[in-house]
């Protein structure tokens, strides 16, 4: 494949992956916080909620930032596998390698996001940025270890709902990613129910700051 064809194709694939991960992160909030109100920053205006920060420290920062980093590391990991083993990464043919890929790209992607947040988020004090990054990297490691099941989700969907459902975008991409987001955030950051809320979320859910 020529460079003139490969680059646009890669950009298209990464854009689709980014969109899938953004959607999955948004949907995972309903699994983790089914009765709680979330802080979506600037988008709060559209749903009648208070805005204390347009982006930083909100669910929107997480949705966009993590999805961008995961799209990058997901495709980089697949390209690395292909360059080493001279074949496309496929769960059916190389299950162990695919599970390793799943942990690698999730851990590296989330950690990349944590690095960016620690470096640029104005809510962090300068003297605490490195400590924040180290803490978040540990959380990323703990959470990423829970996502081993992600490649098995399409298989389970196919057995329950048929091959077409297992191979669909929802069954093969969106649902696995949504469940993985839930466990990575939930276990790594204890982001469940009334835990893991920011100050505004605690306020709009009637909790003390």
Kindly state the percentage of the chain with pLDDT values over 70: 98
CB 106 within 8 A of CB 146: no
Label residue 4 by pLDDT band (50, 70, 90): low
Query: For 118-155, what is each residue's pLDDT tens digit?
Result: 999 999 999 999 999 999 999 999 999 999 999 999 99
The two three-digit tokens of residue 155, written as one number: 């298989």
Q: Is 102 helix (H, G, I), strand (E, B) or coil?
A: helix
pLDDT at 2 over 60: no
Whether the CA torsion 33, 188, 116, 201 is positive or negative: it is positive
The predicted structure's pLDDT at residue 75:
97
Using 50, 70 and 90 to split pLDDT, how confident is the model at 194? very high
Structure tokens at 61: 């920062």
Cβ count near 144 (within 10 Å): 24
Give the H/E segment covering residue 163.
helix 163-167
Q: What is the DSSP code string of 49-86?
A: ---S-SSTTSHHHHHHHHHHHHHHHHHHHHHHHHHHHS
**Residue range 155-186, pLDDT digits in tens:** 999 999 999 999 999 999 999 999 999 999 99
Would you place residue 6 in the very low, low, confident or very high pLDDT band (cuts 50, 70, 90)? confident
Say if residues 157 and 166 touch (Cβ distance below 8 Å). yes
pLDDT for 8: 86
Sequence-distant (6+) residues with CB within 8 A of 10 are 75
- In this prediction, residue 3 has a pLDDT band, given cuts at 50, 70 and 90, of low
Q: How far apart are CA 106 and CA 87, in angstroms?
A: 21
CA separation (Å) from 196 to 71, 130, 133, 189, 200?
24, 21, 17, 7, 12
Question: To the nearest whole number, what is the mean pLDDT of the chain?
Answer: 96
């Amino acid at each position: 494949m020529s460079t003139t064809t490969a680059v646009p194709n890669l950009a298209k694939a990464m854009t689709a992956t980014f969109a899938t991960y953004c959607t999955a992160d948004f949907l995972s909030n309903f699994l983790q916080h089914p009765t709680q109100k979330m802080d979506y920053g600037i988008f709060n205006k559209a749903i009648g909620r208070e805005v204390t920060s347009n982006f930083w420290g909100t669910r929107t920062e997480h949705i966009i930032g993590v999805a961008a980093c995961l799209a990058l590391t997901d495709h980089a990991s697949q390209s690395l596998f292909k360059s080493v083993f001279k074949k496309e990464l496929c769960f059916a043919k190389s299950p162990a390698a695919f599970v390793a890929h799943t942990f690698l790209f999730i851990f590296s992607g989330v950690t990349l996001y944590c690095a960016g947040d620690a470096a640029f988020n104005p809510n962090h004090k300068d003297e605490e940025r490195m400590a924040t990054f180290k803490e978040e990297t540990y959380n990323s490691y703990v959470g990423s270890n829970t996502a081993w099941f992600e490649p098995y989700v399409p298989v389970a969907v196919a057995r329950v709902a048929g091959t077409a459902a297992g191979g669909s975008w929802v069954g093969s991409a969106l649902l696995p990613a949504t469940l993985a987001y839930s466990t990575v955030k939930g276990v790594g950051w204890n982001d469940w129910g009334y835990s893991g809320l920011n100050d505004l979320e605690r306020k709009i859910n009637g909790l003390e700051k």
